[in-house]
Each structure stands twice: as C-alpha cells, then as structure tokens.
C-alpha cells in the first residue's frame, strides 16, 4: 500500500479502543503509512479518528492491537519520548509564553543550548512567517497566526512524524484554503511524514497522498483521493466523498464486469458490480451527478431513462438539474454550461444517460434511507 519509501514508518495493527469497556470507539484499525507520506484520516465527528491520533501520540492506550513506529512497537514508550510533533485542534499554545518561548520549549526540553535553541526558533519562525511576532503572546495573535505558530512549534524540533488534529477547524473559509496549501508545501519541503485528521472531505482531497475514511470506529476504505472519488468501495464512502445519486434495487443478474439491477420495477440499470453477489440481492447504485449526460446520442450510453425536470439551478459554469428518475425524487444532474441558460426548463421531460462504468453497485443501504445523500 505504501507509496514512497520501503517499509511502513507508522503501522496500526488491528488497534481497538474502548473508553468504557463496552462501546468500541475504534475497532480493528489497521493502517500503514510510509515515510514522507501524507495520510488523512477522514470521517464524521465521533467516528474515532481523533482517538487513533491520541493513541499514536501516546495520550491514550489501545485496548487491544499494536502500534509500531519505525518498525518498533511504541506501547511502552511514553508520549514525551515518541518525538512526534502534534498540532492540536485548539492549537494548545502556552498562553503565558511568547511565541518564541513556545517554539523554544521543545528544544529546551531536549536540552538544547541557548544558542542552538535561538537559532532553531528563528528558522522555524521564518518558515511559518511569524518572525515579526516572536515576542507576542498567543492571545495577541489572530487565529491564522496562532495556527501557524502551533505548526511551527510542532516542526521546530524536526520530528519524523507530525500529527494534526483538525488544525484548520477554527479558521474561516478563505484562511482555511490558504493554510491547506501552506501545510502541503511545508510537508513536501521538509519531507516529513504527516497524519492528518479532519471531517472535511475537501481538505482531505487537497492535502493527502492517501485518505483513510472512517465511520463508526471502523475503516471504510483507504485509498488515494482520486480513487476514493472515482471508485468508492462502500456506500458510505460514495456518499461522504463528493455528491452522489443513489438508486436502490435488486440484482437480477451479474458477471465480473457488469450487473443488471431492477430499480423498484421501474427500469433495469446496467452497473459495475463492486459489492454484489454475496448472497444478498439488494444493492445501492451510485452515479456522480456530473457523469450523467443530457439527451445522449443513441447507443452512446448503456443506460438511458426518461426524467421529469423539477428544478433547474443556474450556477454559472454549470446547471444543476433536480429531476425525478426511476422513482427517485431528487436525482441530481450537473450539466456543463454549454447548452446555455433556458435550454432545460422545469416541467420538461428529458432523457438522462450514463455509462455502465460510472454507475457502481455497492452494498445496500439500510432500508430506512431513501433518496440522495446530502451534498457535503
């Protein structure tokens, strides 16, 4: 699985964690991260992603399983000996110290001389562009500056591994995007291994070499962002990453390459079987809104169905069409703005078509859920 380097630098082996002895917050978490890799653990709040990070940093102990760092188990290594840089959700800068003192703290803890520590602090401050704020206290800095100070402090002692726990959660949208690129740039320049935790799928896509999607304490899928988007392995991933249409149905017949799914008796859809054929005939089909073609040329797409347009939203570069298709009331289609505004109107009946490979037959959703997953 590793993308760079040889062996795994960080390895979780079937790690489970329970706080109360009953409920597992993390269940059989297995992940290996290569040296220099940027891996994001992505999931909704409460899915156990922060717990994984805490176990790696040494703030929590796994209930079972093992964590290895550089090939050695770290179960008995105390947090202060692990040499891992951690950036916390609320920054956790020391409010009674100046920014320079904050950055000097890890160096002094390692017994650096005054001179070494001053030089290290200066380098790190330059790196995060805070040289002018060295003598300010954290309370006198803006959120973005505090964030950069926290990152500088986690990097100043040149750790091999840096963990970040939703570090951009408290920032506004613009700043968040700027910081994303800054973090990515720093990580690549320093060639440091990074494990990043977030609930924001956009952030995960921008930053990561690979993303581990978690849900309810379990890993759903570990893959590079483009694979997660194009080839989601589970319905949860398909719905969590980007926008997806969902059609529930019964598998009529299937081969390795294609399956035919009867959608509530209203039509038979041809799809690519991802998780089909293990006894259960229920399945959920997912189709990305941008992979649906309006009035396709005959024979171009294996699937063509009539749809009743309910709403057309003009976004600018594309049109967003809400339609009723095969009994699904909120089928969403994104059409590039080539056809122009007004070509499709509410109330029109049109044809939507899509390729077999763009329609993935996944594990069936619990029967209570219907319709399209909300946009993230």
Partner 1 sequence: MMGKSRTQALLLSLPLIAFIGITFVAPLGSMVLRSFYDPLVAEILPKTVAALGEWDGGALPPEGVYALLAEELRQARADRTIGRLATRLNRQTPGLRSVVSGTGRRLARQGQPPWAEALPRMNKAWGEPEVWHAIAQAGRRVTPTYYLNALDLRMDADSGVVQQPEAKRVYRALFVKTIGVALAITLLCLGIGYPLAWFIAHSPPRRGRLLLVLVLLPFWTSLLVRTTSWIVLLQQQGVLNNLLIWAGVVADDQRLTLMHNMIGTFVAMTHVLLPFMVLPLYSVMSGIPPVQMQAASSLGAKWPRAFRRVYLPQSMPGVGAGCLLVFILAMGYYITPALVGGQSGQLISNFIAYHMQTSLNWGLAAALGSILFVAVLLLFLLYDRVLGLDRMRLGS
Among 4, 13, 82, 320, binds partner 1 (CB under 8 A): 82
- Whole-number Å distance between alpha carbons of 316 and 207: 27
* Residue 294 CA: distances (Å) to CA of 241, 252, 323, 355: 24, 27, 12, 12
Does residue number 157 form part of the binding site for partner 1 (CB under 8 A)? yes
By C-beta, is 153 or 176 nearer to partner 1?
153
Does 106 interact with partner 1 (rule: CB under 8 A)?
A: yes
Query: What's the min distance (Å) between Cβ of 19 and partner 1?
Result: 11
Distance of closest approach, residue 197 Cβ to partner 1, in angstroms: 14
Quick check: 96 binds partner 1 (CB under 8 A)?
Answer: yes
Find the largest Cα–Cα distance for the chain.
77
**Does residue 83 interact with partner 1 by CB under 8 A?**
yes
Question: 233 with 221: CB under 8 angstroms?
Answer: yes
Q: How many residues at the interface with partner 1, by CB under 8 A?
A: 26
Which listed residue (88, 123, 131, 175) binds partner 1 by CB under 8 A?
88
- Residues sharing a CB contact under 8 Å with residue 135, sequence separation 6 or more, in sequence order: 98, 99, 100
Min separation Cβ 189 and partner 1, Å: 21
Rg (alpha carbons) of the chain, rounded to whole number: 24
Q: Tell me if 80 contacts partner 1 by CB under 8 A.
A: yes
Residue 183 touching partner 1 (CB under 8 A): no
Q: Residues 109, 313, 339, 345: which binds partner 1 (CB under 8 A)? A: 109
Residue from 36, 48, 65, 85 binding partner 1 (CB under 8 A)? 85
Least distance (Å) between residue 20 CB and partner 1:
11
Nearer of residues 72 and 110 to partner 1, judged by Cβ: 110
Among 33, 84, 179, 350, binds partner 1 (CB under 8 A): 84
* 78 contacts partner 1 (rule: CB under 8 A): yes
Work out whether 121 is an interface residue with partner 1 (CB under 8 A).
Answer: no
Among residues 86, 192, 204, 362, which is the contact residue for partner 1, using CB under 8 A?
86
Give me the residue label for tokens 């979780």: 12
CB of 309 to partner 1, least distance (A): 51
| Segment near partner 1 (CB under 8 A); pick from 91-99, 221-229, 278-286, 309-317 | 91-99
3 lies in the site for partner 1, by CB under 8 A: no
Binding partner 1 by CB under 8 A: which of 35, 49, 148, 153?
A: 153
Per rule CB under 8 A, is residue 77 in the interface with partner 1?
no
Tell whether residue 59 is a contact of partner 1 (CB under 8 A).
yes
234 dihedral zone (left: phi>0; alpha: psi -120 to 50; beta): beta
Residue 174 phi, psi (nearest 5): -60, -50
Q: List residues near partner 1 by CB under 8 A.
A: 57-59, 78-86, 88-90, 92, 94-96, 105-106, 109-110, 153-154, 157
């Amino acid at each position: 699985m590793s993308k760079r380097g040889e062996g795994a630098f960080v390895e979780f082996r079937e790690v489970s964690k329970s706080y109360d002895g009953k409920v597992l917050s993390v269940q059989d978490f297995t992940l290996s991260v290569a040296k220099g890799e940027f891996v994001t653990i992505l999931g909704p709040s409460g899915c156990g992603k922060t717990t994984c990070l805490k176990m790696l940093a040494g703030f929590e102990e796994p209930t079972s399983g093992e964590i290895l760092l550089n090939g050695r188990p770290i179960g008995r290594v105390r947090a202060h000996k692990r040499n891992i840089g951690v950036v916390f959700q609320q920054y956790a800068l020391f409010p009674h110290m100046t920014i320079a003192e904050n950055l000097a703290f890890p160096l002094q803890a390692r017994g650096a001389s005054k001179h070494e520590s001053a030089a290290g602090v200066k380098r790190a401050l330059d790196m995060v562009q805070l040289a002018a704020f060295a003598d300010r206290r954290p309370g006198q800095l803006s959120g973005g500056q505090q964030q950069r100070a926290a990152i500088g402090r986690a990097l100043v002692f040149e750790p091999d591994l840096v963990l970040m726990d939703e570090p951009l959660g408290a920032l506004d949208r613009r700043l968040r995007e700027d910081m994303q690129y800054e973090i990515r740039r720093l990580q690549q320049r320093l060639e440091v291994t990074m494990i990043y935790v977030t609930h924001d799928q956009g952030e995960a896509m921008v930053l990561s070499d690979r993303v581990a999607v978690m849900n309810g304490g379990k890993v759903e899928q570990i893959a590079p962002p483009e694979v997660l988007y194009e080839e989601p392995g589970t319905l949860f991933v398909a719905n969590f990453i980007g926008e997806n249409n969902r059609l529930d149905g019964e598998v009529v017949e299937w081969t390795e390459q294609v399956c035919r799914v009867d959608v509530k008796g209203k039509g038979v859809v041809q799809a690519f079987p991802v998780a089909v054929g293990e006894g259960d005939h229920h399945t959920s089909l997912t189709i990305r809104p941008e992979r649906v073609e309006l009035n396709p040329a005959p024979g171009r797409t294996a699937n063509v169905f009539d749809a009743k347009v309910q709403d057309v939203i003009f976004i600018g570069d594309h049109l967003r069409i809400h339609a009723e298709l095969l009994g699904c009331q909120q089928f969403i289609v994104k059409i590039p703005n080539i056809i122009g505004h007004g070509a499709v109107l509410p109330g029109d009946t049109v044809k939507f078509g899509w390729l077999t490979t763009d329609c993935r037959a996944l594990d069936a959703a619990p029967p209570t859920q219907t319709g399209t997953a909300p946009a993230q």
